[in-house]
Amino acid sequence: MSIYLDHNATARVRPEAIAAITNVLTHVGNPSSIHAAGRTARAVMEKAREDIGALIAAPASTVIFTSGGTEANAIAIESAVSAGAKRLIISAIEHDSIQETSRVLGVEVEVLPVDSNGVADLGWLRERLGRWDAVDGKPFVALMLANNETGVIQPVAEAAEIVRAADGWLHVDAIQAAGKIPVDSRALGADTLAISAHKLGGPQGVGALTFGPRATLSRRQHGGGQERGRRGGTENLPGIAGFGAAAVAARAGLDDYQARAAWRDAVAGRLKASGSVVMGEAAPRLPNTLCIAAPGFTSDLQVMGLDLAQVMVSAGSACSSGKVKASPVLTAMGQGDLAACVIRVSGGWDTTEAEWNRFADVWLEARARHAARRKEVA
């Protein structure tokens, strides 16, 4: 039986979400129509909006549906630039959707550094905002809640205090965190916060952005007056319904998710005994994520060896044009020399302790075989 341990890439869709999607697909109705079918569709959408808002402690009226986390991040960044931001501060560990969007808007981008565990340097942020030049407009800072590669949780609430003292705008990518740890967008001090359905057991192709009173959003997708005029286009009702159902299930299972950290830590201990290194080990991390480097045992060999044994994980480095490219996250942490030997193991809402243990068994066997081959060659 295959074991799927790549939930940070995409989680298995929850049965509650499948049921909600199927129900919507068997009915007709556009949420913008005013007849009975349209009103029924609208009710489904608004119920999902409330359920998703509850997951992140945000008023339903501030939740905008998008095509995914990438679009939600882009709306926040582009809105800040439209509102007058001429210089953006982006943490060194942000997702590509934030990094790339920031760099194509014609404004200056500065990098908020992180320490060796991948935690944002708030001393640097405080000093930088303390000498902010008014000609650069309202300060904009992007700091994700939890990193998708290492699982390291960032001190977002503390960063928000610094940003607010400078009258700035804080955007939080909570895409990996939502559904795995409690997320309170208002307590965190986020002016905008993005989440995505498929990371927490909903369908792919739907996300959401919540905004606070200090954020001025600009519409980037024009058309009708959907989403209170903030995003044109007929809403993806089946996806939204599945998103809402997944949010309800995820919220109910948060305590169980936290308890599973013990499974991850037990496996980490076994792999460390073989000489491996856990990325971000000294920092708070998501309970489902293990990013580990095995010096001398490349990521591709690890992933292929595990895949042959029907255990699915992801490499901790990206591949471009057939060449291994060091992860910017690990490079920012000063761990670039280990980037080619890193894998990310990420459990999900349906992962069992036995699956974590099976991964460790298979990995240790693969590691031993690799070491034996290297010894023979030597």
Residues with Cβ within 8 Å of residue 129, at least 6 apart in sequence? 139, 141, 162, 163, 165, 166, 168
Report DSSP state, residue 8: T
DSSP letter at 295 equals: T
Q: What number of H helices and E strands is found in the chain? A: 13, 15
Q: In terms of C-beta density within 10 A (0-12 exposed, 13-18 middle, 19 or more buried), how is residue 254 classed? A: middle
Structural tokens at position 85:
């931001």
Distance CA 346, CA 54 (A): 25
Which pairs from 131-136 meet CB under 8 Å and 24+ separation? 132/166, 132/168, 135/86, 136/85, 136/86, 136/87, 136/108
**Is residue 319 flagged as an active site residue?**
yes
Environment class of 224 (CB within 10 Å of its CB; exposed 0-12, middle 13-18, buried 19+): exposed
As a whole number of angstroms, the distance between CA 220 and CA 80 comes to 12
Catalytic residue among 43, 104, 308, 319: 319
Q: How many CB atoms lie within 10 A of CB 300?
A: 14
- Residue 113: how many CA atoms within 13 Å on its side-chain side? 9
Instruction: Pick the closest to residue 251 from 153, 147, 355, 349 (CA basis).
Output: 349
Residues classed as catalytic: 319
